[in-house]
Amino acid sequence: MRWSDRLRRRRAAAYDAGPGLDDALDACRRLAAYGMRSTVGYSAPAGEAPRAVADVHLAAFERLAGENLDTMVSVKLSALGFDAALFDELVAAAAATGRTLHVDALAPDTVEATWPLLEKAAPGGHLGATLPGRWPRSVDDASRMTALGVHIRVVKGQWADDAPGGGVDPADGFARVVERLRGTAGSVGVATHDSDLLAGSLRRLTDSGTPCSAELLFGLPFRRPLQTARRLGVPVRAYVPFGARGATYGIRDVTRSPTAARWLLEDLLLGADKTWRGIRRSETRT
């Protein structure tokens, strides 16, 4: 293996638990030992058949049925080809095991294909869904999801909405979605590593009596947001990717962003230990 391939693999190792479900469940057990909940999310390789992707998620539910873990299973509907029959299988597995099936957000143009699946499955189901703050529609969608009774994860959002009027500042949009959910939603996951935004959002939700948690992404800096959540007495859930995932930034980002450059250095130095080191540091600096 070339040295460049070794570096690439070490950098990517900071951002997922490993290639297989066993790796993800091992990470979930370690997180539970630190008092954290978890969500497993499979990153399918390009070209994998939707049937095969669905089978990985079904295996996750089957394995979790025998585990004493508070763990959700997250799915990207694009990897299922938006196949309603496959999605129904996952919904049934979630209900049978008492686990939550969480639908990840994709690009804005996938939303209309997502809603019919959510609305069909939500009544009596064990479902969650993600709302990106940078989409103008997310404030209204928050009310719609609240009516369905799903667990709602709020994120800044990876993909911008290029439609007219779609230029929403991600942090401002995030705060507006949280404000819409105050006092109405049954369960909200505040998914950001921005400690100030996290603290403000959690305070607004807890002050209104809205059940909430901090949701953090494996590989991103854990220490400060983890300490913030614990200081506020809010549970923490970590998103644990496995499969064909890579780093959350590109090499071009390193030349433009000091933060990405710092992450690259940490990834190369720490590799798969990056998240665990951040958790250990949070334990010793409370």
Q: Are 94 and 125 in contact (CB under 8 A)?
A: yes
**pLDDT tops 90 at residue 87:** yes
What local confidence, expressed as pLDDT, does residue 276 receive?
81
CA distances from 185 to 18, 89, 125, 149, 271 (A): 34, 26, 16, 7, 38
> Of 62-66, 165-169, 174-178, 244-248, which gets the smallest average pLDDT?
244-248
Average pLDDT value for the chain: 87
pLDDT bin (cut points 50, 70, 90) of residue 143 is very high
Whether residues 201 and 285 share a domain: the answer is: no
Ordered DSSP codes for 22-74: HHHHHHHHHHHHTT-EEEEEEEPPTT--HHHHHHHHHHHHHHHTTS---EEEE
Whether residues 48 and 85 share a domain: the answer is: yes
> Of 101-115, 192-206, 247-261, which gets the smallest average pLDDT?
247-261
Whether residues 152 and 258 share a domain: the answer is: no
**pLDDT tops 90 at residue 165:** no
Whether residues 198 and 282 share a domain: the answer is: no
Whether residues 284 and 193 share a domain: the answer is: no
Residue 19 CA, chain-centre distance (Å), reads 18
> Of 2-6, 78-82, 97-101, 145-149, which gets the smallest average pLDDT?
2-6
Each residue's pLDDT tens digit, 222-240: 899 999 999 999 999 999 9
Q: Which amino acid is at 167?
A: G
pLDDT bin (cut points 50, 70, 90) of residue 286 is very low
**pLDDT tops 80 at residue 110:** yes
What local confidence, expressed as pLDDT, does residue 161 receive?
67
Phi/psi for 14 (5° steps) reads -75, -15
pTM: 0.88
Whether residues 261 and 186 share a domain: the answer is: no
Instruction: State the Cα–Cα distance between residues 112 and 18, nearest whole angstrom.
Output: 32
The structure tokens listed for 12 are 């990517």
How many domains is the chain partitioned into structurally?
2
Q: Are 190 and 163 in contact (CB under 8 A)?
A: no
Whether residues 23 and 96 share a domain: the answer is: yes
**pLDDT tops 80 at residue 75:** yes
CA angle 143, 122, 135 (to 5 degrees): 40
Whether residues 238 and 279 share a domain: the answer is: no
CA angle 85, 188, 247 (to 5 degrees): 70
Domain of 147, CATH number, reads: 3.20.20.220
Instruction: State the Cα–Cα distance between residues 286 and 283, nearest whole angstrom.
Output: 6
Residue 127 CA, chain-centre distance (Å), reads 14
- DSSP 8-state assignment for residue 105: P
Residue 95 CA, chain-centre distance (Å), reads 20
Four-residue CA torsion sign, 10, 11, 17, 22:
negative
Percent of the chain with pLDDT over 70: 81
Percent of the chain with pLDDT over 90: 65
- Greater confidence, 221 or 254? 221
**pLDDT tops 90 at residue 8:** no
Whether residues 255 and 215 share a domain: the answer is: no
pLDDT bin (cut points 50, 70, 90) of residue 249 is very low
Q: Are 90 and 103 in contact (CB under 8 A)?
A: no
Residues 6+ apart with CB under 8 A from 99: 61, 64, 65, 71, 72, 73, 93, 126
Whether residues 9 and 102 share a domain: the answer is: no
Whether residues 1 and 73 share a domain: the answer is: no
Whether residues 52 and 188 share a domain: the answer is: yes
What local confidence, expressed as pLDDT, does residue 191 receive?
97
Q: 263: domain range? A: 1-16+248-286
